[in-house]
Structure 1
Amino acid sequence: MSTQNSLFSGSIVALITPMNSHGCIDFDTLEKLVEYHIDAGTDAIVSVGTTGESATLSIEENVKVIEKTVELAKGRIPVIAGTGANATSEAIMMTKLLRDSGVAGCLSVVPYYNKPTQEGMYQHFKAIAECTDLPQILYNVPGRTGSDMKPETVARLAKIKNIIGIKEATGDVSRITEIKKLAGDDFIVLSGDDATGLEAMKLGAEGVISVTNNLAAKDMAEICHLARAGEFSKAEAINARLMALHHDLFVESNPIPVKWAAYRLGLIKSPFLRLPLTVLSESAQPKVEAALKTAGLL
């Protein structure tokens, strides 16, 4: 793997965007979260992805949070910018706005709601890649977008120089092998599903872009680093303890549970999310709390 591509491997956090009870971004807490991940051994940060509430932040806020995260990181940890949109023109605009921001690369989601064809997806990502020199990581998450980018389309896109990898969040680990076979071993495949992340790494995924990492950063770093070293039995022992958390952080729509859990652990000051997302329901809170206890975090 090239030096550039090695920036995008291991334990990568899909970072929450902390807000106060009025919905304003809490930059003081953001600084604490960045330090928490650097201290824990997290390998990279995804700023303003799905877990970072990109959908309810304005373009200006998206850019501000990403730039602030880069500033706070001070070169100690790579920052990957969430730049996806379902309008190609908007995704291009976001990518261009971050050209000189210092981000290591961009994470760009399959267009949601408008359900493009495979050819439409190809042309969308090709147009974005051609507008920038920044490394591009594709993001396939059919459960949220309503569209599934097939491995054959990924392989076509892998031929474009600065499209270097994919976050594959179907939870279907057979996809890892298929994409590697079609796109080549140099193409980075990252799991976007915590529950199957370790299995994906056994099959050749370079790392995990993780929601659980927001809460159990040291454990997730250890799992990924052990897996990268081929020490799967040790990684499995830690991962088993986190499995309830991997599942129950999706008991309601992400990032509802992870924000409540981060608040419960004192990592953020408020569990606030912007509408249409609401704070974790009282009926779901005991389930998430139990998963935190099983994980050894409470």
Structure 2
Amino acid sequence: MSDIEKFKGIIVAFYACYNEEGDVDPVRVRKLARHYADKGVRGLYVGGSSGEGMLQTAAERKVVLEAVMEEVGSELTIIAHIGAASTRESVELARHAEAVGADAISAVPAIYYRLSPASVERHWQEMIDSTSLPFIIYHIPQTTGFNLSTDLLAKMAAQDKVIGVKISSESTYELQQFKAVGGPDFLVLNGPDEQYLAGRSIGADGGIGGTYGVMPELFLKVESCYREGKVEEAREWQFRINEIIKNLLSFPSLYGACKAVLKLQGVECGEPRLPLLPVPPADKGRIVLLQKQIHEYTEEAMSSVKA
């Protein structure tokens, strides 16, 4: 497998795992990582939005990545998200990711401050220069407030170590434009889970998503149908995925809902860290029904593969 090929396909945005006291739990991290490895996904994106990286200390983020690498680092592609409020902390996390054997690093622009393109470029460049690892830009303007221009993307993509972009903006046109700027060998990874198929059809090489984590089989089904040219079937599975995503988004937080579903699937991750909200007791019944729906769709997807 080529260096680029290992980043293509279904990459789960890994969830934060805490114990009952709200501390990072390496045992639960390893169990969740094993859960995904057994599902057959391409890799894991560790410490991003779903991983609550911005709500953890640098020390906690290192513990999570170390546990993931120890459990599945030799089996899956591991991308370490190292974005932080300060460049200094991001560089520290980048060097740690290289030391423990991650396959690539990735980062959003620095948060809170509204930065100029020159500031964001310098922020990313410091990370790129600090290791020998490939770098994947994380473009998510709805949370960072920074809109990545095609000019800056072209400048960054001209570097050998900058191999791709994770694009979580909602425009598939922007995704296609980024692919055109980067060229055929530049990775573009779809971010919005509800448009995975749309992203793939317009040029994405795969995807990284948080809701993949509660229904990896369904995203793997969409991907296999797409690769086999079964576009109508892929569309039907995407519609089912979107039905589930709509329900997940009806809870106080997506992260709390996904963790509650995972608990029913036998994988305990604890509750999300505040200010992210858990599922309230009154909504536990709805989570049970949602997990039942996911289970039924998964069984159907798997039975069609076996057939």
Provide TM-score, normalisation by structure 1.
0.91
Distance 2:140 2:249 in 1: 14
CA offsets, 1:114-161, max 9 Å, x none? 121222222221222122110111111112112221233212210111
2:58 alignment partner AA? I
**2:236 is aligned with what amino acid?**
A
CA distance in 2, matches of 1:89, 1:296: 44
Structure 2: any 5+ residue segments left out of the alignment? 298-307
Question: Number of residues paired by the alignment?
Answer: 296
Listed as ranges, the matches of 1:207-286 within 5 Å are: 207-251=206-250, 252-268=252-268, 270=270, 272-282=271-281
Report deviation, 1:196: 1.0
TM alignment of 1:171-210, pairs within 5 A:
171-210=170-209
CA RMSD in angstroms comes to 2.1
Q: Distance in 2 between matches of 1:199 and 1:288?
A: 28
Identity fraction in percent: 23
**TM superposition shift of 1:269:** 5.6
Which residue in the other structure is 1:131 paired with?
130
| Partner of residue 79, structure 2 | 80
Deviation sequence 1:11-42 (CA, Å, 0-9, x none): 00001122122112232222222222112111
CA contact (8 A) 2:257 2:279 kept: yes
Q: Distance in 2 between matches of 1:33 and 1:61?
A: 16
Distance 1:297 1:281 in 2: 24
Over 3 Å counting, the alpha-carbon distance change for 1:116 and 1:74 in structure 2 is: closer
Distance 1:232 1:85, change over 3 A: same
- Paired with 2:217 and 2:274, the residues of 1 have a C-alpha distance of 31
Moved over 4 A (4+): 282-291
8 Å Cα contact 2:259-2:269 kept in structure 1: no
Alignment of 1:31-180 (within 5 A): 31-180=30-179
- SS of the residue corresponding to residue 79 of structure 1 reads strand
Other structure's SS at 2:99 match: coil
- Which ranges in structure 1 are unaligned for 5 or more consecutive residues? none
Q: Is the 8 A contact 1:14 1:45 kept in 2?
A: yes
Distance change >3 Å, CA 269–CA 61, structure 1 → 2: closer
